[in-house]
Amino acid sequence: MIKSYFDVIKILGKPAYENVSTADKGRYFFMVNRHLTRMYPVIAATFSHIKVDSANAMDFWNFYFKNIYKASKNPLPSKENFAKLSQKGKVAKYNEEGIEFMVSRLKLGSAEVEILKKLKSKDLIKYLKAVDELLNEKIKK
């Protein structure tokens, strides 16, 4: 029994979807598409056209989760996913004195430092903390 669009989302890609009527597909298409816009913006934007047949679009979502997505995961966007997405925008802060020390001692160029920042940021931060501790010890002596 379909009572809300959440019920439709929960069965996307599963055999129970075959029992959803065409009327329910049309009724809940807008909200399902809107809900899936967060995780799949390109696909959902394609379906936002006014002349799209909502039942066929819902069948596509079912096909997507059944064959492409393999329905092994829950199609509902989770808080975890949004937390990971929000972390991507954060920029790590680097100790500039440590970077200058590293550039002078290891004879690195600015391009190499940028590559390290992009590919090995966690390791670079650990290294810079160790360098900062060493520099602070030299200043204390």
Task: Tell which wins on pLDDT, 62 or 133.
Answer: 62
Q: Is the pLDDT of residue 12 over 70?
A: yes
Distance CA 30, CA 33 (A): 5
Q: How many structural domains is the chain composed of?
A: 2
Q: Which of 63, 72, 61, 68 is nearest to 31 (CA)?
A: 61
Q: Is the pLDDT of residue 72 over 60?
A: no
* 45 and 111 inside one domain: no
* 28 and 63 inside one domain: yes
Residues 6+ apart with CB under 8 A from 44: 33, 34, 36, 37
Query: pLDDT band at residue 71, thresholds of 50, 70 and 90?
Result: very low
Q: Is residue 40 part of a domain?
A: yes
* 11 and 68 inside one domain: yes
Residues 6+ apart with CB under 8 A from 25: 8, 54, 55, 58, 59
pLDDT for 42-55, tens place per residue? Answer: 888 888 887 888 88
Q: What is the pTM of this model?
A: 0.49
CB 60 within 8 A of CB 32: no
Counts of helices then strands in the chain (DSSP H, E): 8, 0
